[in-house]
Structure 1
Amino acid sequence: MGLGLITQAEGRHITVMFPANGEVRLYAAQEAPLARYLLQEGQQGKHAEGWTFIIEELSEAAGIVTYHGTREDTQETVTVPEPQLSYQIDNNPALTRLLAGQADRLDMYQLRCEANQHLAAYQNSEVAGLLGVRTHLLPHQLYIAKTVADRYHPRVLLADEVGLGKTIEAGMIIKRRLMTDRSSRVLIVVPESLMHQWLIELRRRLALSFTLFDEERCEQASEDTGNPFLTEQHIIVSSDFIKEPKWQSALSDADFDLLVIDEAHHLQPDADEFAQVKALCKSIPGLLLLTATPEQEGSEGHFLRLQLLDPDRFNDYEAFLTEQEHYKELAEQAESITDNEKLDELLDKYGTGRVMFRNRRADIGGFPERRFHPIELPELTPEEGMPWWMDDPRVDWLINHIKENRNTKALLICKTAEQVLDLSEALRVLAGVQAATFHEGMTLTERDRSAAFFASEEDGSPVLLCSEIGSEGRNFQFVSQLILFDLPTNPDLLEQRIGRLDRIGQQNTIDIYLPYTSGSSESILLPWYEQGMNAFRQCNAIGRKLYDAFGTFIEAALQKRQPLSDDIIQQTQELSDAWRELNKQGHDKLQAMNACRPEQAERIIGHIETDSDVDTVADFMLAFWDRFGVNNEVLDENRWFIRASEHMRIPGLPGLPEDGITVTFDRVTALNFEDVDFLSWDHPMVQAALELLSADDFGSTCVTQMKNTAIPAGSWFLELDFTNTVTAPAKTAAQEFCPQGNLRLLLDSQGLELSDKVSRELLDQQASFLDKKTARQILKQLRGPAQDLIHGAQDKARSWQERLVKAQQEKISETLQRELKRLEALKDVNPSVRESEIEALKERQATLLAATEQPQLSLTAIRILVNNH
């Protein structure tokens, strides 16, 4: 991030501006990870204008340090106050410690060098951020995650059918964007009932930490700062919260760069709050909308939600409908294309290719069979003054079903919370069954406890009674029985109910039960659902369209309590078959092509399997724990229990609680044991280890002895490690083009370079431990000659840096210019390409090229080796 300037210090917070990348960060005053940047005599300084100087003397007045020294290019005497230092600083911790006569153990130096190699490899990885996801490596999820995450400002609708893992896809997109600096501030908006689930899923599956914000949290944060949302980087709020006018301006001004909205079909274009949601979507450059049923509220509502993503592309509803009629011809054209770039171009020009991803279960495969059990019961007239459930035959059937299936758990969904409470009371009074409940009247904590009570194998409830909110978001793959206590009139809502069980991870056949009485609403809807569209036994993607066609007849039949005519059922079946075939030939085929390219997906999986490098990350972390005082106990061949010891070199480690934690480096083990943390190069603990060893002083200087009879005793060598980094505003995602570069130089005492002739590994085989007292004596003796060699080596390092930066600049220009040319050509035929998108691309290119003009060259490690045979 370069050098920072403290701009404000008030109360419990410190505000720091980092001019190198334009970021402003707020730190807690008592815990701010900040240290004053102070150079010493003999070190190299860098002026804001780009020239360098060697410091000969320091002075201080009024709290400002002034450096006196000699400018390196002109040999002039210069005086530089510290505010005139370049923000793009060359950090040389190794040289500072060498001059101070400090040295570390050989093993710490070796670990530091490993960390720099691993960090560079990680930044060069094409799948950074996707390595540590605690899921099976599913092609459709990984293709979407990488494709969307790698866009500059993604604005897409994730609309995979129920059960295909949209939450995981969104989480992977967030993770990759955060790990590659494409995003830094993320706002997630979900129904209140799902806030805790999102929080837990992001932590457990992706090792991402988010904070829940509600009215109380915002009021508290407002006491310390003007905008409460600036106090955290990653925030989850409820869908209702963002509609509150009180917090609208604060949300829009909080500089979020990625907005995620789950269950997006609830965004009602005709609602008063829609304008507020629309304004928030417009103010944040990245936007992910999630819904399994994009047309649940009708095709016009779907179109208006697409407008949130791209108002220029979707500006004419009638044209949108007309375009959909030609998808079959377009699909046939797309099928004949074998070149990926040409296929991208075709899908970009037409349809929703640029903004919508929808995988279908039929294309993914591997889902269980659905069995449907309609159970007709005699209708009874309830006695006056008695609760309805006393005489409802469905309740008797439910009690008998629970008794007959004691070892099998069941999920029951009905319309309202009132029904849930009544059924819970009925089971308690009539059968002594303590049922778990889940409805909108419960707090988030109560819902989580109830879900846990239901999931418990030993003493858990045999049934979970849910209101309609149970049909969204919550996953119950461990259940194979679904009881529908009533039927919704919306087919998409029915599909969502079934999707709580029928989803990725379900291992059993799903049994769907519908107890109903003759003459009830269910008896009217059942033939339409079962005979008309086969909605219970297969995924029903065209259900909403069928409701739009026959909804008037449905509502009339329900109002009159009369069955639907055979003619309506027949028409529904014919239209259902026709639309499914039309979609199969056109719309579905196009979406399948866009939502997952098998060859590319397999390449992504291959990169993940290679770059995960499980043995290497395990060896590195075991060595790290040993050097830094973290106790680790082997539980089995794939699991370790780690906890802090009294001899920690650092106060704490991210992700390591005081009472310890069980970890694994193996994906299969992580999937089998949910209470085990899955460590990969993506994990915060591993990233913290890499950062400590590459950016801090640990292991930066080392003096060691070697035994080599082929060279004279007393001969000494100098091994230097330089790194090149480019600092730019986070929104430019500089790491994509400018990952950390490493250079190793090996010099003998005369300055002869031996880097290509003698590897680090060969030296390590000959090097051995040297006690601290002897190391300091040698360092004191050789400090002057070593410093002279270092000054000469810096010229070689700068030449290497110039070549590296030139290659980076060529890559930036070539890649972004090609993308710019593609977008400008596409803009001529498709209004989906906005002028702002093109201007943002031009700005990114200019900013990145400007940043590479001031790269940072740092001497990060020094080792002196003295031959003693």
Structure 2
Amino acid sequence: MHSPDQIFALGQQVRKRNAPDQAGIIISAHFSDQREAWQYRIQFGTAQRAVVEGELEAIGSADPWRDLRDGKFAGALAFKAAFTYHRLRRPPSRVAASFGTARTLFFPYQFKPLLKILDHPQRRVLVADDVGLGKTIEAGYILRELDAHEHLERILVVCPARLTTKWKTDLQDKFQENFEIVSSRRLMELKSAVTQGRDLPEFRWITSYEAARRKGFIRFMNEEPPQFDLVIFDEAHRLRNPDTLQHRLARAVCNASQAVVFLTATPVQTRQEDLFYLLSLLDPETYRSPGDFLGQMAANRHIVQALACLRRIPPAGVEAAEQLGQLANYRETAHLAKTAVHGALVQRVMVADSLDRTDLVALQRDLSEFSFTSNVLSRTRRVDVKEDRPQRRVKAVTVAMSPEEQSYYDEVEDLCERIGMDVGDFGQSLAMIMAYRMVASCLPASVDYFRDRLDDPTVGSELMASLEDEFSEVLGDGHEIEELEESSDSFDRKSIEKLVRAVDLRRIDSKYDACIGALRDIWLDDGSTQQPRRKVIVFAFFKRTLAHLQACFAEDGIKTVLISGDIAVAERQVRIDRFRDDATIDILLASEVGSEGIDLQFASVVVNYDLPWNPMVVEQRIGRVDRIGQASPTITVLNFCLRGTIEDKVLLRLYERVKLFEGMVGEIEPIVGEQVFDLASHVLVSKLSDDEIQRRVDQTANALVNQVVQAEQLNRNVDAMLATDQAFLDEVEATVGRRRLPMPAEMREFINTALTSRFHGCDLPERAVRTVAKLRLGSDVALELRQLGGDARENDRVARLIERDDFNATFAADQLLGGRRADLIHARHPIVALAQDVFVKNSAATSVPFAVQAPRADPIKAPAAHQLPPGYYLLSLSLLEFTGVNRRNDLCVVGLGLNTGHTQGIAGDAARELLLHLVDCCGDVDFVPPEIQARIADATGRLQSFEVAVHD
């Protein structure tokens, strides 16, 4: 028998006519004499099946409208996968690229700055949230979202020197973003590239104010500036003084940046003009002079009060309109009060009590845009955030020195006094401070330090640089580390020899004895209450102190791990993981540099073995455990100091008076730090009696308490002039509450649906939605990842984990708090990208009609205003793309009732809720009655015309 020509060619993509979501590739063909037809072997994912030619059709000829008329439908599983795919590919949310990508808990307010910078035409935002609310996380979300849309080639983070490591670690651990800490020398390499006409490299840099404020770099930025895609200034309150190098630096860098983010908890510290000088850096056209700004803020108060009226239940529309009428009385807003936009807004406000929730939120959003700061300033106060913060229990332990220890301490004090403290030589002043602090920190360790100086006079230069970093807020623009190195050898050899000749403190350490006694009391209490033994972090400024403590604890049979700046970042994390996971390790010994950027919320006891002279460092230490994810309702803070030292006479008393350890001072600490340094330095250089010292401490404490109170009052006054951001919060909360983006369980189901169709044995276990699980995906997945487009380095990283059978992952970000090492699977993860690629290549279900049914007891529902009665419907789903300054996508569903002929259009969240209802409860259609099938063909053309009208 002569065989007819075959219709399909080898390698052609086809699908089954009666299951249009099942697509595959022809790998062989032969003519079946028995069936008298061509039979093809089709590769469906990892499976191969033989299919007769008449049951196949080419993918290229597929037409969803023809499929509908011909009664070809995909089922419920394909519908769920397709709906997830479309929300991943064209997400109807402006925060889609950043949402769920951070290893932290979700807080809606942390997306406000992102929405604001997206709204700002010049991509500018000042983030002024209270201390501890996650400004670094907010900056990371901005970075992620902008990078996804615009590919940021050059990013610069500027922060205090003490925070550079923290920024690097936070961005790496929470966002998997790799940044490099650079010096002033590396910054100036940009100048070489510009002057030589070379292309600028792509970079992600972190630098310090101390490195960037060099006059040469500022001059370069003013004359031949390179282009930055994103610049982030942390602790931006440093920029408020227009007479400083730091302000000049910021102005030059802002002028050369596509997007700028300022972060500070204290936008106002001493006067309202502080806020003006920050905003004028971000938007000099809007904020032209301090006088105009004060007028703008005064008018702004009425907008804020109008918004407050609209938030009442029921909304006080008439009162809000009266507040808007006041805008006509201010020079800065009189022209706005005459516009048609203002008039229309007043009319809407007047009927606010008759608006539904959606229209009321839209009105609040439109009204807030009248505010002078709404699109550039984002502020969240602690009182606005419901969080269960642990209570701090603070205890001071003042230790009396033994006679031998007291004698040695007095010798060091005499040595420093003989050398003198020249206030004009800052390097010599810091040398004396270092000697005092070393002795006060740990007497035995200081003896070893001075002995080592006899053998190597350069010992201590590293400590001098560390002291300069700690006091960077105090030093201002004028001091550089090079200046300190010249003065670092202030102690002559004979003086040191005399100091250490006869002393022997190897068996005497009263401070350690007090520390181990206090810790044993804590652990004894844990045992008596049958609680797990609490983990302890012991902080000390000097690495020699930490090494001494580690030896002492080991002698007492207590296991410890130690982290400091000498230890590589990767090794630090390994040691922290051991400390967290090994119940036999009780103590982590940490320096400031070693602990920067590390989350230690699994510990609940903080020991300040010495007291920093910079108050910000005190809060930084405690903040390592007092953070999101801390499970203990209380945190114990133990402060140790030797009686009669500067720590005892000045620092401890002062810090207790201003409630620094309780976290009451916040980022007003720059003011406190300046006065702490001045007071302690004065006590060192002057021969004051104990009574005189006490009087000076009390005077300083009283002044500081007053400053803190005044600063807080000033901030409250400013808050009263700032518009609220409820509309932004509603937009973010809708992303979760209305599932504008796929939830973890939906993503897991989609990944399994896509990957199992192609790779045998691929399965993401259900527990990965809740906790960390090992994913075994196979070498074929790893190979495919390396061939996938996008971030090649990230794809290769995941591929290597899969090949080593070491791919631990979870969809639950809260499981990765505390530095637990595993991948967070989110919408931008390579596995999700691979699933999308496989799905669209191996499935026809992205463009076929679906036949699904909801349970009879639970008819298809949308919000009350959009009810669809039970029955048979044709639903046309359209993706609407809105272009312009604020691009966004949205959904529109047109439903055509086959029983009634009734047509109804549903858009936005209502359409999404209808589809989500189907996703959650739908099943396959077992049988379509012939009379309904007959109506489908007649209704198809009508529904198609509705879809065209929607797009037009």
- What TM-score, normalized by structure 1, do the two folds share? 0.58
Would the aligned equivalents of 1:479 and 1:501 in 2 still touch at CA under 8 Å?
A: yes
Question: What is the number of residues matched between the two proteins?
Answer: 646
Match of 1:463 in 2: 588
After TM superposition, list the pairs within 5 Å mapping 1:616-765 onto structure 2.
Answer: 616-629=746-759, 631-633=761-763, 635=765, 637-638=767-768, 641-645=774-778, 651-652=784-785, 654=795, 655=798, 657-659=801-803, 661-665=807-811, 674-675=820-821, 677-690=823-836, 693-694=839-840, 699=844, 736-737=887-888, 765=925
Between structures 1 and 2, the one with greater helix share: 2
Q: 1:518 to 1:623 in 2, by over 3 A?
A: same
Would the aligned equivalents of 1:377 and 1:393 in 2 still touch at CA under 8 Å?
A: yes
Alpha-carbon distance in 1 for matches of 2:116, 2:682:
46
After TM superposition, list the pairs within 5 Å mapping 1:34-113 onto structure 2.
Answer: 95=60, 113=82
Q: 1:742 to 1:126 in 2, by over 3 A?
A: farther
Note the C-alpha offset of 1:478.
Answer: 1.8
Note the C-alpha offset of 1:623.
Answer: 0.6
2:407 aligned with 1:381? yes
Match of 1:287 in 2: 260
Question: Which residue identity does 1:283 align to in structure 2?
Answer: A
Q: 1:205 to 1:357 in 2, by over 3 A?
A: same
Q: For 1:130, which of 66, 79, 99 is the aligned residue?
A: 99
Q: For 1:588, which of 707, 716, 730 is the aligned residue?
A: 716
Would the aligned equivalents of 1:394 and 1:515 in 2 still touch at CA under 8 Å?
A: yes
Question: Which residue identity does 2:512 align to in structure 1?
Answer: V
Q: 1:384 to 1:275 in 2, by over 3 A?
A: same
Match of 1:357 in 2: 379
Note the C-alpha offset of 1:624.
Answer: 0.7
Q: 1:723 to 1:665 in 2, by over 3 A?
A: same
Question: Which residue identity does 1:381 align to in structure 2?
Answer: S
Alpha-carbon distance in 1 for matches of 2:87, 2:748:
12
Match of 1:44 in 2: none
2:555 aligned with 1:529? no
Matched residue of 2:129: which SS?
Answer: coil
Would the aligned equivalents of 1:296 and 1:493 in 2 still touch at CA under 8 Å?
A: no
Note the C-alpha offset of 1:167.
Answer: 2.1
Would the aligned equivalents of 1:409 and 1:479 in 2 still touch at CA under 8 Å?
A: yes
Alpha-carbon distance in 1 for matches of 2:782, 2:942:
35
Question: Which residue identity does 1:393 align to in structure 2?
Answer: S
Alpha-carbon distance in 2 for matches of 1:535, 1:680:
39
Note the C-alpha offset of 1:327.
Answer: 12
**Which residues of structure 1 form unaligned runs of 5+?**
1-92, 99-103, 707-718, 746-753, 769-788, 807-869
Matched residue of 1:507: which SS?
Answer: coil
Note the C-alpha offset of 1:540.
Answer: 0.9
Deviations 1:111-157 (A, max 9, x none): 88546643466235676632454433334324444444554444334
Alpha-carbon distance in 1 for matches of 2:576, 2:125:
32
Question: Which residue identity does 1:610 align to in structure 2?
Answer: R
Identity %: 20
Would the aligned equivalents of 1:437 and 1:464 in 2 still touch at CA under 8 Å?
A: yes
Note the C-alpha offset of 1:737.
Answer: 3.9
Q: For 1:165, which of 116, 128, 134 is the aligned residue?
A: 134
Q: 1:141 to 1:548 in 2, by over 3 A?
A: same
After TM superposition, list the pairs within 5 Å mapping 1:335-346 onto structure 2.
Answer: 337-338=309-310, 340=364, 344=368
Question: Which residue identity does 1:160 align to in structure 2?
Answer: D
Q: For 2:538, which of 376, 392, 412 is the aligned residue?
A: 412
Question: Which residue identity does 1:462 align to in structure 2?
Answer: I
Matched residue of 2:757: which SS?
Answer: helix
2:384 aligned with 1:367? no
Question: Which residue identity does 1:474 align to in structure 2?
Answer: I
Match of 1:396 in 2: 513
Alpha-carbon distance in 2 for matches of 1:193, 1:536:
19
Alpha-carbon distance in 2 for matches of 1:121, 1:204:
28
Match of 1:840 in 2: none
Alpha-carbon distance in 2 for matches of 1:280, 1:265:
16
Alpha-carbon distance in 2 for matches of 1:95, 1:174:
40
- What TM-score, normalized by structure 2, do the two folds share? 0.54
Alpha-carbon distance in 2 for matches of 1:158, 1:697:
45
Matched residue of 1:373: which SS?
Answer: strand
Q: 1:634 to 1:311 in 2, by over 3 A?
A: closer
Question: Which residue identity does 2:399 align to in structure 1?
Answer: L
Alpha-carbon distance in 1 for matches of 2:84, 2:752:
13
Alpha-carbon distance in 2 for matches of 1:262, 1:569:
31
After TM superposition, list the pairs within 5 Å mapping 1:450-599 onto structure 2.
Answer: 450-458=575-583, 460=585, 462-467=587-592, 469=593, 472-508=596-632, 509-526=634-651, 528-530=653-655, 532-541=657-666, 542-545=668-671, 552-553=678-679, 555-560=681-686, 562=688, 563=690, 578=706, 582=710, 585-588=713-716, 590-591=718-719, 597=725
Would the aligned equivalents of 1:347 and 1:354 in 2 still touch at CA under 8 Å?
A: no
**Which residues of structure 2 form unaligned runs of 5+?**
1-57, 64-71, 311-319, 321-363, 409-498, 524-532, 789-794, 852-873, 897-902, 906-914, 929-936
Would the aligned equivalents of 2:296 and 2:372 in 1 still touch at CA under 8 Å?
A: no
Note the C-alpha offset of 1:474.
Answer: 3.0
Q: 1:637 to 1:203 in 2, by over 3 A?
A: same
Q: 1:492 to 1:670 in 2, by over 3 A?
A: closer
Matched residue of 1:510: which SS?
Answer: strand
Note the C-alpha offset of 1:620.
Answer: 1.9
Deviations 1:58-89 (A, max 9, x none): xxxxxxxxxxxxxxxxxxxxxxxxxxxxxxxx
Question: Which residue identity does 1:588 align to in structure 2?
Answer: R
Match of 1:259 in 2: 231
Matched residue of 2:140: which SS?
Answer: helix
Alpha-carbon distance in 1 for matches of 2:559, 2:167:
28
Q: 1:489 to 1:571 in 2, by over 3 A?
A: same
2:727 aligned with 1:604? no
Would the aligned equivalents of 1:484 and 1:515 in 2 still touch at CA under 8 Å?
A: yes
Note the C-alpha offset of 1:295.
Answer: 8.2
Alpha-carbon distance in 2 for matches of 1:112, 1:363:
36
Would the aligned equivalents of 1:721 and 1:742 in 2 still touch at CA under 8 Å?
A: yes
Alpha-carbon distance in 2 for matches of 1:512, 1:637:
37
Q: 1:522 to 1:246 in 2, by over 3 A?
A: closer
Question: Which residue identity does 1:685 align to in structure 2?
Answer: I
Matched residue of 2:138: which SS?
Answer: helix
Alpha-carbon distance in 2 for matches of 1:150, 1:590:
22
Would the aligned equivalents of 1:156 and 1:309 in 2 still touch at CA under 8 Å?
A: yes
Q: CA RMSD in A?
A: 5.9
Q: 1:129 to 1:596 in 2, by over 3 A?
A: farther
Between structures 1 and 2, the one with greater strand share: 1
The higher radius of gyration belongs to: 2
Alpha-carbon distance in 2 for matches of 1:331, 1:378:
60
Alpha-carbon distance in 1 for matches of 2:882, 2:237:
40
Matched residue of 1:141: which SS?
Answer: helix
Question: Which residue identity does 1:473 align to in structure 2?
Answer: G
Matched residue of 1:348: which SS?
Answer: coil
